Amino acid sequence: MSTEAGTGVKRRDFLKILGATGATTAVVGCSSEKVGKLIPYVVNPDNTVPGVSQYYATTCRECATACGVMAEVREGRPIKLDGNPEHPLSRGAICSTGLSALQGLYNPDRYRSPMVRQGNALTPITWDKAYELLAQKIGEVKSRGQAGSVVFINQHESGTFPGFLDQWLSAQGMPAHLSVDPLAPTATLAANQKAYGAAWPDLDFGAAKLIVSFGADFLDGWGHNVPQQLQWADARAKLEGAPRLVYVGARRSLTGLNADQWIAAKPGSDMAICAALTGQGTMAAASDSSGVSVAVLEALAKAIAEAGSGVMAICGVTTADAVDCGVMVAEINKRAGSVGTTIKPASAHGGYAGLSSYAEVITSMKKMADGSVPLAFVRGANPAHTTPKSAGSFAEAFAKVGFKVSFSSMPDETAQLSDLILPDNHWLESWGDAVSTVGQLGLQQPTLDPVFDTKSTGDVLLELAKKDQAIAASYNVADYRTWYISKYPGGAPAFTTALTKATVSVSPLVTATPRTLSVTAAAPAAGSGDFYVHVFPSPTLGDGRGANKPWLQELPDPVSKIAWQSWVEIHPSTAKKLGVKEGSHLTVETAGGSVTAPAYIYMGVRPDTVAIALGQGHTAYGRFAQNVGVNAFDLVVNGWDASGALALNGSLAKVTVLVDSSPLVTTEGSARQHGRGIGQAMTLAALLGQEAEDDHGHHPIPGMPSQDFRSGLKAPVAADAQGEFADPMSKDKGMYDADHVQKMEKRRWAMTIDLARCTGCSACVTACYSENNIPTVGAPYQGRALSPVKWDENPGANIIKGREMAWIRLERYYEGNENSENEFSSDFDTRFVPMMCQHCGNAPCEPVCPVYATYHSPDGLNVQVYNRCVGTRYCSNNCPYKVRYFNWFGYGEPERRQYAWPDPMHWALNPDVTVRGKGVMEKCTFCVQRIREAEHRARAEGREVKPDEFTVACAQACPSRAIVFGDAADENWTVSKLAYDRRAYHVFEELNTYTAVVYLKKVNYPAPALPAQA
Amino acid sequence: MQGVVAAFHEIDTTCAAIEDLKKKRLGDVTVYSPTIRHELEHAIDAPQSIVRRFTLIGGLLGVSFGYWVAIWSSNYWPLVVGGKAIASWIPYTIIGFEMMVLVGALSTVAGMFINSRIPRLTSTAGYDTRFSGGYFGIFVACDGAKAGQAEELLRQHGAVEVRREA
Amino acid sequence: MATIARPTRGVGIRGPNIASADVQLPAVESYEQVDREIIATLGFTKKWFMGLSVSVAAMLIGASAWIYQIYWGLGQAGYEPPVMWGNYIITFVFWVGIGHAGTLISAILFLFRAGFRTSIYRAAEAMTVFAVMTAGLFPIIHIGRPWKFFWLLPYPNWRLLFPNFKSPLVWDVFAISTYLTISTTFLYIGLIPDIAVLRDKETNPTRKRILAVLSLGWRNSDREWRHFAKAYLFLAAFSTPLVLSVHSVVSFDFAMALTPGWHASIFPPYFVAGAIFSGFAMVWTIAIPMRKWFKLEHYITLNHLDATAKVVLFTSLVVGCAYMIEFFIAWYSGVRAEQEFFWNRVFGQWWWAAWIMLLCNMALPMSLWSQKLRRNPTWLFILSLFINLGMWFERFVIVVPSLSHEFEPWQWGGYTPSWIDMSFLIGSFGWFFMWFLLFVKQLPVMAIAELKEIVAPRVKHGHNGGHH
């Protein structure tokens, strides 16, 4: 591990300044790089080889899907999470949220020890003192006979722990805990339970012909993100037999943008539409309430009828009638007879089992407000942030509780209100399990010793139990792990073997107290106003739990491309009417409350609707979350559906335009590709050869390359270096010589990106941040100086200046619907283009570099030599793809305020990749560290690199398997086959750059529910 | 050094004096003038300056060095950039040109220094500060006997002042 | 030197539009007068001290900005990717451009025997040297790791790692450093006889000694003059193509890239014309006040200004023509990226910059068709300020809009210079004028020896100094 030595650096900086300003530059400043100390192991821990990664299989606990992950551990510290290829659901893929778990683990703002409230401040104490204090409090509560009214609010978990917890609570004579997840599709679960008898049946996209999604964003947060994406992408990759997708909803979510047709129905009108589709209502009525023409609805009905048992109707609406709506939607499937084919109750997911509802939380909150709660525990959940103001202030209610205990490891809003904090281990530090599909248990093992002085709640509960003579006997185990193994079928040996795969066919070892949903819907007050307000969970930050992780804050929202900010989506035509410009501040006011945020003009939202995402607006929760954006929960009007779930939507809002405005923290330049043919598409008919492919909108630059571009892939690096246009002067070709020992020249690393698969979810982006030590630059403290005395402290200040560092970015281009600011049309196409260094065969960036800091390696990589770079930035100017990123500040220098990895976040840095210094250019390297590692391993084992033996970080994470990497010069690699696909093209081919990245055209399908033209 | 130095105020008289002195062969004549005058050049009628040879040689050395360093260093460490030839001589022409100008010009200056014997920090016998101002000057290097004649001649030609340098 | 302007018979001012070849100085009678009046300019004055302190202060602003920037990183400047080049490169090209008039006047006009150069070339040459000194700083200020700038030089190192001679930036390094060396040499060589004059007039022994060393013991002997003349001729012969090459090479920084708006073969001539244009403007900015304050109106006469005005008018036409050709080619090429870029440059995002450029560089100089204005120092001075502004904006228009609107629409952006950028701009002027002011009080701003060539020498017998 390398630790920076402060003093030496300071001296150097001083000399640098002196040197560069004075005449002595050439003499001093020879090393601007960090001085590092290498601390070798005195005694090597077992099976740890410095510099070689170990992989621990465990289970991701960031959402209810419980994907299997592999933690890459280097010298005892996890440095990256990858999907576990063995896992039946996630199949080696992983999403941004999962990847970012590392930043939850290494978060600099975590509680570093137990804390107790003294006066207004929380002060550290020892665990023993904490135990005593809590044991005493519990004792008091029991002695007063109030144990029955103790409240334990836990983040929702599946698996064994909830059962363990309930056992403990009942042993203490306390009621079962509340298992809270504000993001869980509670209504859908209830509806499914009613309709199919399974809370979450498996959705088989492969079997589907027509998918009708009523506001279900199944590619980006609704349900089981990663597995759904994998299935969806595989199904769509069938091209001809691909399922078609109709998205019904007031706002076009990421799933909506991937849909073949968007039916922009008014919020809350889904019910009517379903009624019409199931013959329980008239088309006319549906049309009236939804604002969708009868023709379209009829066409939809027709399409459903044609699809027969291939129909998959899913419901993700969050209005007060959500449950009934869900049942109605299920009715569509039943009628189509698709239950069992596309909807598989037989193989259900168990991740949501034992979920409590919002209504229950409110009930216990009321109890707190009455002051009838003597003792409350909160773990993981953050009700102080996720409870709408309209339901009354949680803080006030919580304040009335006798003694408040938080197990949260982050200083979130709720924890900050508590009296005692017993920080829990991060899931990467603890033992446990989670349910994926029913009967499948994902095991979870620690990947390192706790970073801080924290303890897993299981152990804490055991300690407390031991302190109580009454129940000590029944908890006579060392710690939660021992307890767990003792319960595990087959005991320790079986458990140990199971850990290697981390997925076993076992049910939770103890079951939680079953919950009975007995709530009656309480519709939120509709309020007044001429706009519907559409509140939705942020794909990246969720309900706000992701906001403390800079990777997620920095990751642009897949739809709006906005980061580090809240925004209000408003349709261009409405914006024009109200005179709203991009970034003008809008105040949205509902019966629940009001928020003010800059406007984002988006043609994917109905003109009578404004949309705003949850996730921001934290008042605590660490340096990355605090005071960033606004909390959209403030807009939500208190009220719930028949399942007790918070009805996010269904109320009206007043929108007032304020005079002031602020720039959007967006990574988007132009949302149109101006016919530059970056994200190309072809119609299915064209693909099948039924119609001529029209190059609509693509204006190639005159002077197309004479050769077939693929020769750029096949041809070893530079024709000239090969002597094709032989250069008489050059005798020695060095590594470029075909006979050179390293044989590098035989390879041509390349990549294909299938736009028919890519959903734009952006997992690749976060994967790249994680693998390549890319600094995040948007934090409020990372801005530049606006004057000698004032620093720019707006969140995302650097991103407003276009200085984000994402080596791979996800471009989102719109096609069609040019007239959107005058009239609303739901018909436009979206192209998602992952754009990274294209590793051109004839790279424009290379010859312009005065110091050879970028050149072409014999195996086709466009190499960037950081410590040779002097930072002229000419390479970036000459790059048509604009994929080079410059280190404007010392993001890697701890003593600079822009430092991107405040201790201990730098523990997650990849030791194989340099942290780039101030003033150098960087860009995608095709994960050269992985290439070389594979080559070296192969050489060590005395063999050639096997085809598809390894891949790059983005490709490895990609949940839609759109990215394929490999050696295009060797036809045994998948990539070299794909590169010759009929849909293959290069971006800016006409510039003769011979890129190593081949894109496969997106395939556009006719809108399934298109009313027949008269 | 021995000789006679004379200061003239007018140019035509200076020229006349020079031509006369050359006829008389009294000794090497050095002419001082605040600036260049054709009249004087004609009168002195000295051989062509050889500075231009320095220029030529310097220029040739420069251009060949320019090409050489570019081509040699490219080949010494072959790195392919932008698919271009490792040693691509066409752009190297610029290097060649600039080096030609640099070396050529500097050697021209060197040529001038060498030929006109500067920098000199030695005694300035036979020089008078007026020669940089408004006066023309003639210095005849000769010893006692001829010196008299020289003085005589210079005075005839209307020298403002004649001085004997020992 | 070698007699470029012959003494002409008869006095009295010729008609205003005389062929520039024999611009003469009727008001200058004798060699002594030249010495007296030029040396008189060297005395220190209060005004001068004030000017110097202002310049030094401005220079210090720039210096401290640099320290600040090196400590924090380039992020303090206004860069807004994809606009990776900004104020520093703009200002670099601006000063290099200004640095062209000097050598053009002293070398090219020398070869063309343009007499009006005589009284302005010394000041112009000094201006050139200082302008290039200023320009040379900016590439270093601009790079991310200035303490590593020497990696651009082909110095021998143990890895034998040399710069990439295919890179226009390396061409720049060669062109600029050669240009600085040669123009400095040229300036100094021209100065030698004049320093000798100062030496001979100097009474203070210390100063006399220093001047003696600087004059290299020059004695005005026929041998010295003979080689001097030849050397000067060849230096001029070398400098002429050098001047043209330097700004061409600078233009390659842009023309060699495939960025829309940069990738144009017209750039070299266009840049050279622009450089001369801006150079002459700066000569006016300096010479017009100078001739007044130093009482040298009879050395830099209206005829001189008239002649320079004609050069400015011509180069303005060339530059304007280049602008038009750029637009035409953008349309004619049929490259959509190119067309959209130019539209955006002139009528879109950057219209204001583009129109400032067109107004100052194309429209206003047209006033010089009028002889009245050509001979009106006040107007020329005002115009020169506009031209300087316009030429700075020309470089802005070349650098920024092109980068902000390239092939990849997703990466289109904008640019606003920060207070740091502005400090450097101010600093550069401070640095430049500091050197110039120091120069004008130490060394003659007019070539004494050359002026004497124009002045008729005394003769005894009738015919007035004419030669055979």
Residues B96-151: tens digit of each pLDDT: 999 999 999 999 999 999 998 888 876 567 788 889 888 999 999 888 788 888 89
Q: Cα separation of C121 and A619, whole Å?
A: 69
Q: Cα separation of C153 and A850, whole Å?
A: 9
- Does C224 or A736 have the greater pLDDT score? C224
Q: Cα separation of C325 and A945, whole Å?
A: 55
Record: contact A731-B75, CB cut-off 8 A: yes
Whether A748 and chain B come into contact, CB under 8 Å, resolves to: no
- Which of A866-870, B77-81, C84-88, C373-377 comes out lowest in average pLDDT? B77-81
- C-facing residues of A in 17-36 (CB < 8 A) are 17, 19-21, 25-26, 28-29, 32
- C-facing residues of B in 92-111 (CB < 8 A) are 92, 94-95, 97-99, 101-102, 104-106, 108-109, 111
Q: Does residue C397 register a pLDDT over 50?
A: yes
Burial zone of A671 (CB within 10 Å; 0-12 exposed, 13-18 middle, 19+ buried): middle
Contact A356, A180 (CB under 8 A): yes
- Helix ranges (DSSP H) in C256-294: 267-293
Distance from CA of B124 to the nearest CA of A (A): 38
- Which of A24-33, A806-815, B2-11, C238-247 comes out lowest in average pLDDT? A24-33
Distance from CA of A561 to the nearest CA of C (A): 11
Alpha-carbon torsion (C100, C103, C106, C109), positive or negative: negative
CB-based contacts of A250: which residues, under 8 Å, 6+ apart? A215, A264, A265, A266, A267, A532, A534, A605, A606, A609, A611
What H or E segment, with its residue span, contains residue A538?
Answer: none
Record: contact A721-B80, CB cut-off 8 A: yes
Distance from CA of B119 to the nearest CA of A (A): 28
Q: Which residue among B75, B83, B84 places its CB closest to the CB of A732?
A: B75
Q: Touching C: which chains, 3+ CB pairs < 8 A?
A: A, B
CB contacts of B71 in chain A (<8 Å) are 729
Interval C19-23 mean pLDDT: 50
CB contacts of B49 in chain C (<8 Å) are 226-227, 229-231
Contact A429, A446 (CB under 8 A): yes
CB-based contacts of A504: which residues, under 8 Å, 6+ apart? A440, A441, A443, A498
Q: Which residue among C150, C340, C403 places its CB closest to the CB of A674?
A: C340
Q: Cα separation of C391 and A631, whole Å?
A: 50
Contact A330, A201 (CB under 8 A): no
Other C-beta atoms lying within 10 Å of the C-beta of residue A914: 17
Q: Which tokens go with A532? A: 């519907």
pLDDT in tens, A638-675: 999 989 999 998 889 999 999 999 999 999 999 999 98
- Helix ranges (DSSP H) in C294-405: 302-333, 336-346, 351-358, 371-374, 377-404
- Which of A309-318, B123-132, C424-433, C447-456 comes out lowest in average pLDDT? B123-132
Record: contact A919-C67, CB cut-off 8 A: no
Q: Cα separation of A971 and A961, whole Å?
A: 20
pLDDT confidence tier of residue C64, bands split at 50, 70 and 90 = very high
Distance from CA of A993 to the nearest CA of B (A): 9
Which residue in B has a C-alpha nearest to residue A726's C-alpha?
Answer: B85
Contact C153, C227 (CB under 8 A): no
Whether A700 and chain C come into contact, CB under 8 Å, resolves to: no
CB-based contacts of A915: which residues, under 8 Å, 6+ apart? A773, A775, A892, A909
C-alpha Rg value of chain A to the nearest Å: 29
Which residue in B has a C-alpha nearest to residue A725's C-alpha?
Answer: B85
Distance from CA of C267 to the nearest CA of A (A): 17
Which amino acid, one-letter code, is at C427? G
Q: Does residue C461 register a pLDDT over 80?
A: no
Q: Which residue among B31, B39, B129 places its CB closest to the CB of C200?
A: B129
CB-based contacts of B36: which residues, under 8 Å, 6+ apart? C1, C2, C3, C225, C229, C449, C453
CB contacts of A786 in chain C (<8 Å) are 418-419
What does the CA dihedral C85, C89, C91, C92 come to, rounded to 10 degrees?
A: 170
Burial zone of A199 (CB within 10 Å; 0-12 exposed, 13-18 middle, 19+ buried): buried
Distance from CA of B86 to the nearest CA of A (A): 7
Record: contact A881-C143, CB cut-off 8 A: no
State whether residue A790 is helix, strand or coil.
coil
**Strand A115-118 relative to strand A151-155, pairing:** unpaired
**Strand B3-8 relative to strand B161-165, pairing:** antiparallel
> To which residue do tokens 């900010």 refer?
A565
**Residues in a beta bridge with A831:** A813
pLDDT in tens, A452-474: 999 999 999 999 999 888 888 88
Q: Cα separation of C432 and C437, whole Å?
A: 9
Q: Cα separation of A715 and A745, whole Å?
A: 10
- C-facing residues of B in 138-157 (CB < 8 A) are none
Instruction: Report the pLDDT value the prediction gives residue A505, as an integer from 0 to 100.
Output: 87
Look at residues A921, A891, A850, A20 and name the one whose alpha carbon lies nearest to residue C146: A20
- C-facing residues of A in 402-431 (CB < 8 A) are none
Record: contact C164-A787, CB cut-off 8 A: no
**Residues in a beta bridge with A570:** A601
Q: Which residue among B49, B105, B132 places its CB closest to the CB of C185?
A: B105
Where residue A453 falls (left for φ over 0; alpha for ψ -120 to 50; beta otherwise) is beta
Other C-beta atoms lying within 10 Å of the C-beta of residue C131: 29
Record: contact C144-A851, CB cut-off 8 A: no
Q: Which residue among B11, B35, B134 places its CB closest to the CB of C465?
A: B11
Q: Touching A: which chains, 3+ CB pairs < 8 A?
A: B, C
Other C-beta atoms lying within 10 Å of the C-beta of residue A38: 8
CB contacts of C458 in chain B (<8 Å) are 9-11
Instruction: Report the pLDDT value the prediction gives residue A993, as an integer from 0 to 100.
Output: 84
Q: Cα separation of A57 and A71, whole Å?
A: 6
Q: Cα separation of C38 and C42, whole Å?
A: 8
Distance from CA of A856 to the nearest CA of C (A): 13
Record: contact C408-A880, CB cut-off 8 A: yes
Look at residues A962, A1007, A721, A975 and name the one whose alpha carbon lies nearest to residue A841: A721
- B-facing residues of A in 185-204 (CB < 8 A) are none
CB contacts of C164 in chain A (<8 Å) are 847, 849-852
Distance from CA of A582 to the nearest CA of C (A): 15
Q: Cα separation of A264 and A894, whole Å?
A: 49
Instruction: Report the pLDDT value the prediction gives residue A695, as an integer from 0 to 100.
Output: 61
Whether B115 and chain A come into contact, CB under 8 Å, resolves to: no
Q: Cα separation of B46 and C26, whole Å?
A: 32
DSSP secondary structure string for all residues of C183-223: HHHHHHHHHHHHHHHHHHH--SHHHHHHHHHHTTT---BHH
- A-facing residues of C in 266-325 (CB < 8 A) are none
CB-based contacts of A609: which residues, under 8 Å, 6+ apart? A250, A251, A266, A267, A531, A532, A533, A534, A571
Low-confidence stretches of chain A (pLDDT < 70) are 1-41, 44-46, 516-517, 694-733, 1013-1014
Distance from CA of B145 to the nearest CA of C (A): 25
Sheet holding A441-444, edge to edge: A432-435, A441-444, A503-504
Record: contact A882-C408, CB cut-off 8 A: yes
Whether A727 and chain B come into contact, CB under 8 Å, resolves to: yes
CB contacts of A732 in chain B (<8 Å) are 75, 78
Instruction: Report the pLDDT value the prediction gives residue A1001, as an integer from 0 to 100.
Output: 93
Whether A861 and chain B come into contact, CB under 8 Å, resolves to: no
Q: Which tokens go with C288? A: 């017009």
Record: contact A846-B82, CB cut-off 8 A: yes
Record: contact A732-B74, CB cut-off 8 A: no
Q: Which residue among B13, B33, B46 places its CB closest to the CB of C460?
A: B13
Which residue in B has a C-alpha nearest to residue A715's C-alpha?
Answer: B83
